[in-house]
């Protein structure tokens, strides 16, 4: 199963543990507009809040590119 499919499943189930397992320990999210970053733990916390909210709904998520080293959603 591809990494994208695993993350898609985590979103469908709103399973933060499954989602967190899908990202590398060295994960870093970089906001391109401000160049600020979020670590894996910060990202898990934010996504966990999203999962617990009924108002958050991913509507047309898609995998743009994926290989063994990178996933672009």
Q: What pTM does this model have?
A: 0.78
Instruction: Report yes or no: 20 and 44 within 8 Å, Cβ to Cβ.
Output: yes
Q: What is the pLDDT along the chain (73 residues), one digit of tens a residue?
A: 799 999 999 988 999 999 999 988 999 999 999 999 999 999 999 999 999 998 888 788 899 999 988 889 8
Instruction: Report yes or no: 38 and 29 within 8 Å, Cβ to Cβ.
Output: yes
Total residues found in the chain within this entry: 73
């Amino acid at each position: 199963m591809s990494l994208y499919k695993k993350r898609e499943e985590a979103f469908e189930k709103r399973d933060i543990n499954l989602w967190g397992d899908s990202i590398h320990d060295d994960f870093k999210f970089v906001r391109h507009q401000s160049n600020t970053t979020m670590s894996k733990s910060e990202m898990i916390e934010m996504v966990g809040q999203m999962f617990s909210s009924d108002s958050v709904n991913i509507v047309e998520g898609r995998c743009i590119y994926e290989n063994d080293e990178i996933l672009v959603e």
